[in-house]
Amino acid sequence: MKDFEKLLESSYEYLVILDSHISQLKSIVQMGKRHNKKMLIHVDLIHGLSNDDYAAEFLCQDIKADGLISTRTNVILTAKKKGVLAIQRLFLLDSSALNKSYSLLKKTQPDYIEVLPGLMPNIIREVHEQTKIPIFAGGLIRTVDDVEQALGAGASAVTTSRGELWKYYVKDL
């Protein structure tokens, strides 16, 4: 929560909520919105929450998330149906996973893609060129160089829980 409070005062427009408990979500999202933040919830990483259609509907209607991040097709499709940002998370472990992901993206047509690990500039570039969908690079981002390479490869944003990296991109942290 200490990091969250710092981020509320930052110039970042979007915040990703993960590794939280379902009972905390409503107050966290409300607090973020009071600070004019867009709150993205990582559905697969919320304790006490299933990652199914009902959970997605609950997050959109009751919690009032601005967007949902998930590996699950049904969550992405529900987010799109409910009019919130849909971020398809992809674990690109090998060529087979990459090819399956292209098929999945044709079906879900998410607003954004989160590519993991985010340390693959050539793959980020390829996925962006193939899909024309904006990309978040995430996972194993540990240095300023990692961030710069991902952004240089065409990622629109980088997701990282490494607070020491945030200060390089926002002066007030």
Q: What domains are there in the chain, each with its CATH number?
A: 2-166 (3.20.20.70)
Tokens linked to 144: 């300023």
Angle, CA of 63, 19 and 32, to the nearest 5°: 45
More reliable by pLDDT, 168 or 148? 148
Task: Please determine, for residue 170, whether its predicted confidence score (pLDDT) is greater than 70.
Answer: no
pTM exceeding 0.85: yes
Task: Please determine, for residue 168, whether its predicted confidence score (pLDDT) is greater than 80.
Answer: no
List the beta strands (DSSP E) in 1-134: 14-17, 20-21, 38-42, 46-47, 67-70, 85-91, 112-116
% pLDDT > 90, the chain: 89
Task: Please determine, for residue 113, whether its predicted confidence score (pLDDT) is greater than 80.
Answer: yes
Q: Strands 112-116 and 135-138: what pairing?
A: parallel
* Residue 172 pLDDT: 58
What is the residue-averaged pLDDT of the chain? 95
pLDDT tens digit sequence for 21-73: 999 999 999 999 999 999 999 999 999 999 999 999 999 999 999 999 999 99
* Residue 81 pLDDT: 98
Helix (H) or strand (E) holding 158: strand 157-159
DSSP code at position 52: S
What φ, ψ does residue 64 adopt, rounded to 5°?
65, 45
% pLDDT > 70, the chain: 98
